Amino acid sequence: MTSSSSPSTYGASRARQHLLVFAALAVITAIEIAMTQASIAASLANALFLAFSLAKATLVAAFFMHLRDDSRIYTAIFLLPVVLVLAFSTLMLMSAGGH
């Protein structure tokens, strides 16, 4: 919050930001559902689905969970296990693909 803005103005702008994030989440979800009904190459569709999922999760964490404005320590606490899980899953899938 800037020193020049009142709490109500700041709150209104924050609510507007949350509505915009919600609109983005809703549009991405609608695109995902529409894509399941369209005939798109599986490899392209899967890459897009993963990118959309990452974008949606990032939007929720950054704006709804306020990681964008809050202490970076919270971000580190949350991201460390995410990185570990991604590394573990990748190694496991590579191992499964080798058999």
Residues 36, 46: contact at Cβ < 8 Å? no
How near is the Cβ of 28 to other proteins at its closest, in Å? 9
How many residues bind other proteins, per CB under 8 A? Answer: 47
Q: Residue 32, exposed/middle/buried by CB under 10 A (0-12, 13-18, 19+)?
A: middle
CB nearer to other proteins: give 3 or 97: 97
Give the amino acid at 99.
H
Residue with tokens 């990185």: 83
Cβ atoms of 28 and 59 within 8 Å: the answer is: no
4 or 99, CB closer to other proteins? 99
Range 24-83, binding other proteins (CB under 8 A): 25-26, 29, 32-33, 35-36, 45-46, 49-50, 52-53, 56-57, 60-61, 63-66, 70-71, 73-74, 77-78, 80-82
CB 28 within 8 A of CB 52: yes
Q: Give 4 or 93: the residue with its C-beta nearer to other proteins.
A: 93
- Please give the Cα distance from 84 to 87 (Å, whole number): 5
Q: Nearest CA to 46 among 55, 37, 36?
A: 36
Binding site for other proteins (CB under 8 A): 7-8, 11, 14-15, 18-19, 22, 25-26, 29, 32-33, 35-36, 45-46, 49-50, 52-53, 56-57, 60-61, 63-66, 70-71, 73-74, 77-78, 80-82, 84-85, 88-89, 92-93, 96-97, 99
